[in-house]
Structure 1
């Protein structure tokens, strides 16, 4: 069974994020979900982004990294949207990582002044027409990462919803999320 560090998105540690963590726990995995926002949960992307801009994007990433110090080195680092930068930094730069799971986002590997470890497995899950993915260049970064790694998969689901895996949000897509969870559980097995 895997040990997973799961980093939440811009709305905070929502019930939907906890539900995903619980599904992984129910399958026998150990899942840690640190609260990067000190208990704050936002009802819209705009509200969450205002908060993140106040504390700084770098601060959010910095808050996610120390959580890994308490884990074994062979953890899987998972991030949802805003949680992806810290998860990607940890997976890409912390020796011994077992794998990475990126949901709704991906950064260029050059963001961390190192190459992606060629044999480190990674899955990237997103909607094919998600404006954040397409317009912010994350889709290009995802394709770059997949091309540079031996064990990388990019799963694009039909639609444009950004946080479609969070069951507590109107953008939730139950069918797509069911497939995401199946693929994630196969990855962690």
Structure 2
């Protein structure tokens, strides 16, 4: 079974993020979910973004990194939107990374190195008409096209944060498919 670090999105460590983690735990995986917002959650993306800006994005990232075990643990790094910025960096730069799940976002691989590590399988999940994911879709496609261990899954719809069951943007069918696909990746690492 895999050990997973799951980094939350800009609305905080919501009940829906916790439920997603429980869905992975139900398959026997160990899932850690650092609270980068120190217990705060927000009703909208805009409110969460304002908090992250006021707190400082570096401080938010440091909170997530502070709860991440030192290298050698053999972790899968996962993130929702804002959390992808941490998950992707760690998956690309740590020698002990075993896999990555990038949900609602994907940065250019060049942000953290020249290429995705061939030994680190990665899945990218997002909605085809999500205004935020659409900005990242070229990077997601480039990663999927250049890396044999990368898979890109684009779901119909426009919801950002679609896998968070506590938000109005939740899509139960797409989330069930995402979890099925994620479990497949996790079983192989």
Give the TM bin, normalised by the shorter chain: over 0.9
Contact map agreement 2:71 2:94 (CA 8 A) in 1: no
Distance (Å, rounded) in 2 between the aligned partners of 1:92 and 1:78: 12
Could you tell me how far 1:148 is from its partner in structure 2?
A: 2.2
Pairing 1:46–2:46 present: yes
SS at match of 1:69: coil
Could you tell me how far 1:161 is from its partner in structure 2?
A: 0.3
Distance (Å, rounded) in 2 between the aligned partners of 1:116 and 1:153: 12
1:89: which partner in 2? 89
Figure out how many residues of one structure are paired with residues of the other and give that number: 187
Matches within 5 A, 1:69-80: 69-70=69-70, 72-80=72-80
Distance (Å, rounded) in 1 between the aligned partners of 2:71 and 2:17: 20
1:111: which partner in 2? 111
Could you tell me how far 1:69 is from its partner in structure 2?
A: 2.4
1:122: which partner in 2? 122
Return the TM-score normalized by structure 2.
Answer: 0.94
Q: Which runs of 5+ in 1 are unaligned?
A: none
Distance (Å, rounded) in 1 between the aligned partners of 2:33 and 2:122: 19
Distance (Å, rounded) in 2 between the aligned partners of 1:38 and 1:127: 29
What's the CA shift string for 1:15-51, capped at 9, x where partnerless?
A: 0000010111111000000100000011111110100
2:159: which partner in 1? 161
Please provide the CA RMSD for this pair: 1.3
Distance (Å, rounded) in 2 between the aligned partners of 1:56 and 1:16: 24
